Structure 1
Amino acid sequence: MSFISVVNKVLSKVKPSPAERDRLSNIVRRVSSLIKDSLLNNGISAEVVPGGSFARGTFLHGAHDVDFFIRHKDPADLESFPRVVLDAFPEAVRVEGSRTYFRASHGDYELEFVPTLLIDDPSDALNSMDASFFHISYVNSRLDNALRDQVLLFKQFAKACGVYGAESHISGFSGYVIELLMLRFKRFKRFLEFLDQGNNELFLDLEGFYDSVSKAYTALKVNRSLTPVVVVDPVLPTRNAAAALSRESFDKFLLQARLFLRGPSESFFTVKEPLISDLTSLARDRGHPFFTYSFKVSGKRDVFFAKLARSLRLVKARLERHGFVVYDHGFLSDGTVYFELVRDVLPLTKRVIGPPVSIDSAHFNAFISRDAVNGPYVFNGRVCFDVAREHTRAKPLLLKLLKGIEF
Structure 2
Amino acid sequence: MAENVKFTKEVWSRMRAQILKEIKPSPETHEEVRKIADELVEKLNKISPDEIQVMLTGSFAKNTYVSGDVDFDVFVLFPEKYSLYDLQNMTFEWAKKFLENWEIAYAQHPYIRGYYKGHHVDVVPSYKIKEGEPIKIRSAVDRTQLHTKYILSVITEEQKDDVRILKKFLKRLGIYGAEIKTGGFSGYLCELLILKYGSFYDLIMAARDWKFPVAIDLAGGRSERLLRALFKDDAFIVIDPVDRKRNVASPVSVDSLSKFVAAAHVFFLNPNASMFFTELKIMKPSEIREKVAERGTSFVLFEFPKPD
TM-score, structure 1 normalization:
0.62
Change in 2 beyond 3 A, CA 1:103/1:271: farther
Q: Letter of the aligned partner of 1:14 in structure 2?
A: I
- Which structure: larger Rg? 1
1:69 aligns with 2:78: no
Q: Distance in 1 between matches of 2:134 and 2:163?
A: 24
Counterpart for residue 38 of structure 2: 29
Counterpart for residue 198 of structure 2: 186
Counterpart for residue 124 of structure 2: 114
1:260 aligns with 2:267: yes
Contact 1:122 1:130 in 2 (8 A): no
Counterpart for residue 125 of structure 1: 137
Give the alignment partner of residue 55 of structure 2, picking from 49, 57, 68. 49
Please report how far the alpha carbon of residue 229 of structure 1 lies from its aligned counterpart in structure 2 after TM superposition.
Answer: 1.6
Give the alignment partner of residue 19 of structure 1, picking from 20, 23, 28. 28
Please report how far the alpha carbon of residue 34 of structure 1 lies from its aligned counterpart in structure 2 after TM superposition.
Answer: 3.9
Q: Distance in 2 between matches of 1:107 and 1:287?
A: 52
Gaps of 5+ in 1: 289-407
Please report how far the alpha carbon of residue 215 of structure 1 lies from its aligned counterpart in structure 2 after TM superposition.
Answer: 3.8
Q: Distance in 2 between matches of 1:218 and 1:285?
A: 41
TM-score, structure 2 normalization:
0.80
Q: With CA pairs under 8 Å and 6+ residues apart, which has the higher RCO, 1 or 2? A: 2
Q: Letter of the aligned partner of 2:120 in structure 1?
A: E
Change in 2 beyond 3 A, CA 1:36/1:254: same
Give the alignment partner of residue 89 of structure 1, picking from 99, 104, 122. 99
Contact 2:36 2:117 in 1 (8 A): no
Counterpart for residue 245 of structure 1: 252
Please report how far the alpha carbon of residue 169 of structure 1 lies from its aligned counterpart in structure 2 after TM superposition.
Answer: 2.3
Q: Say which SS state the counterpart of residue 141 (structure 2) adopts.
A: helix
Change in 2 beyond 3 A, CA 1:253/1:49: same
Q: Say which SS state the counterpart of residue 232 (structure 1) adopts.
A: strand
Q: Distance in 1 between matches of 2:124 and 2:218?
A: 26
1:170 aligns with 2:177: no
Please report how far the alpha carbon of residue 97 of structure 1 lies from its aligned counterpart in structure 2 after TM superposition.
Answer: 3.1
Q: Distance in 2 between matches of 1:68 and 1:131?
A: 14
Q: Letter of the aligned partner of 1:167 in structure 2?
A: E
Q: Distance in 2 between matches of 1:273 and 1:195?
A: 20
Q: Distance in 2 between matches of 1:90 and 1:189?
A: 41
Q: Distance in 1 between matches of 2:17 and 2:164?
A: 11
Q: Say which SS state the counterpart of residue 104 (structure 2) adopts.
A: strand
Change in 2 beyond 3 A, CA 1:85/1:180: same
Contact 1:230 1:240 in 2 (8 A): yes
Q: Distance in 1 between matches of 2:207 and 2:242?
A: 26
Please report how far the alpha carbon of residue 106 of structure 1 lies from its aligned counterpart in structure 2 after TM superposition.
Answer: 2.6
Counterpart for residue 211 of structure 1: 222
How many residue pairs get aligned? The number is: 275
Change in 2 beyond 3 A, CA 1:47/1:258: same
Q: Distance in 2 between matches of 1:178 and 1:165?
A: 10
Q: Distance in 2 between matches of 1:206 and 1:91?
A: 41
Contact 2:215 2:227 in 1 (8 A): no
Counterpart for residue 377 of structure 1: none
Gaps of 5+ in 2: 2-10, 291-308
Please report how far the alpha carbon of residue 44 of structure 1 lies from its aligned counterpart in structure 2 after TM superposition.
Answer: 8.0
Please report how far the alpha carbon of residue 135 of structure 1 lies from its aligned counterpart in structure 2 after TM superposition.
Answer: 0.9
Q: Distance in 2 between matches of 1:260 and 1:98?
A: 36
